[in-house]
Amino acid sequence: MQRQPSLRCTVSSILSIGLASPMGLGAEPTVQCWASGASGLRPNERWNTEGFPCASAGLVPDFSPRKHLPDRKAVKLMSRESQLAVFAAVEAAGGVDLPARLGIEPTQVGAFAAAGYEVSSLGDSEAMLAACADPEDPTRIVLQRLFGAARDVYNPLSPLKILPNMPLFHAGLSLGLQGPHLCLGSSPPAGLAALGEASESLARGECSLALVLGSDAQVEEFRAQLLVEAGVSPALAPSEGAAALILGTEAGSPNSETPRSGPRIVSWDAAQETCIGYGNCGDGGKTRRALYSRVLDHVGPVDLCFADLWGQPDHDGPERFALGNQSAIEGPLQSNRARLGWLGAAQGLTDVAIAWSLITSGKVQRALVTSVGLAGDIAAVVLEGQS
């Protein structure tokens, strides 16, 4: 994620958003739940959490792929991340076949995304692993059985679910997008980086509209265990969700007949900081402090800051240090982590979408969103309303 100092991206505006989050299915329910102060975390119903450090999870409520997705036949080809991504993308776009509805050439609509850590469910491999077990010792795997009993139970659709760009592929296919495509890394800051790359692609004239997407599904036993090993749980509950944003160079909303000016991207940047172990900042926050200073240069006072705070002193210390002396930030630091859990690649863009709704409603004029990954990757973006 190493980059040159950020550009001042005043060309592109965020025209519309789509969300599937633990707080609600859709952008409006999510924002209403957030505004009420409620949490999206609830008892984990996916598996027995006895002995697990966190009994709660961020589950998207009332989501039925065959009910809420435009192509029921494609559902069996999608991982959970892809299903949530398509829902959010279609909501942001106001329906399928976006270029055709707006009279835009498909090659003029780009797509940029952050991928999940692991885009396949452990359940897809369980039957195959069971068939490979040694009959005399079930704790051992016999590789020779891969070409016998295991082959008969192997799901041939599984490879289609493990490619990190599949959520972007399915969303782009549903919307009919043929412009520039870019799938970035598997971390919360990757969503903010995808947003910045999309804005710069618009500024260069490579496309006239762009979809920006982040999706992840951490509520799965194997991935949740990785969060435990990374030190994320029990501070943050494993969660699932997706956030989609439509960017454009002209005022107007693709999911509404009423033209309007959306909040615009003023600046953004991404970088890599020294990381000791999992997510422990080795330089005490100096790298992110410099990055946040670059992003806040030449902008007015920021009256909302969604910071990446977990409620853990060793993680929050560098973030508070990096943001504490930024003169452009007015008001206290806020964080959605305790109420949304660990959303992975959907985290940063979900914060952006909520900030977008606050700016659009006139409650906030300018907002800063920061995001930090477990491997030391960091990113930040500043949004502002248009008068």
pLDDT tens, position by position, 303-342: 999 999 998 888 899 999 999 989 999 989 999 999 999 9
- Higher local confidence (pLDDT), 162 or 238: 238
Give the residue carrying structure tokens 């995001």: 371
- Higher local confidence (pLDDT), 247 or 6: 247
Containing H/E element for 268?
strand 264-272
Handedness of CA 136, 139, 142, 145 (dihedral sign): positive
The predicted pLDDT at position 1 comes to 44
Q: Measure the CA–CA gap between 116 and 163, rounded to whole angstroms.
A: 10
A 10 A CB-CB count for 324 gives 11
Question: Could you give the domains of the chain?
Answer: 13-120+158-248 (3.40.47.10), 123-153 (no CATH), 264-384 (3.40.47.10)
- Summarised one tens digit per residue, pLDDT across range 339-360 is 999 999 999 999 999 999 999 9
The predicted pLDDT at position 120 comes to 53
Which of 30-38's residues contact partners 24+ apart within 8 Å by CB, and which partners?
A: 30/353, 30/354, 31/354, 31/357, 34/336, 34/339, 34/354, 38/339
3-class secondary structure, 214: strand
Q: Measure the CA–CA gap between 139 and 378, rounded to whole angstroms.
A: 40
Length of the chain: 387
Instruction: Report the amino acid identity of residue 347.
Output: Q
Is the pLDDT at 147 greater than 50, yes or no?
yes
Q: Measure the CA–CA gap between 109 and 74, rounded to whole angstroms.
A: 22
Q: Measure the CA–CA gap between 288 and 275, rounded to whole angstroms.
A: 12
Q: Measure the CA–CA gap between 167 and 213, rounded to whole angstroms.
A: 9
Residue 259: pLDDT band by 50, 70, 90 thresholds? very low
Q: Measure the CA–CA gap between 96 and 109, rounded to whole angstroms.
A: 13
What mean pLDDT comes out for the span 258-265?
A: 69
Report, in angstroms and rounded to the nearest whole number, the Rg of the chain calculated over CA atoms: 21
Q: Measure the CA–CA gap between 312 and 325, rounded to whole angstroms.
A: 20
The predicted pLDDT at position 176 comes to 94
- Summarised one tens digit per residue, pLDDT across range 367-383 is 999 999 888 899 999 99
pTM of the model as a whole: 0.89
Handedness of CA 237, 244, 79, 200 (dihedral sign): negative
The predicted pLDDT at position 307 comes to 96
- Summarised one tens digit per residue, pLDDT across range 95-105 is 999 999 888 89
Is the pLDDT at 137 greater than 80, yes or no?
yes
The answer to whether 131 and 153 are in contact (CB under 8 A) is yes
- 293 Cβ contact list (under 8 Å, min separation 6): 326
- Summarised one tens digit per residue, pLDDT across range 46-75 is 999 998 999 999 999 999 999 999 888 888
Instruction: Give the pair of three-digit tokens for residue 333.
Output: 């630091």
Poorest-confidence range of 177-191, 242-256, 316-330?
A: 242-256
DSSP β-bridge partners for residue 367: 304, 383
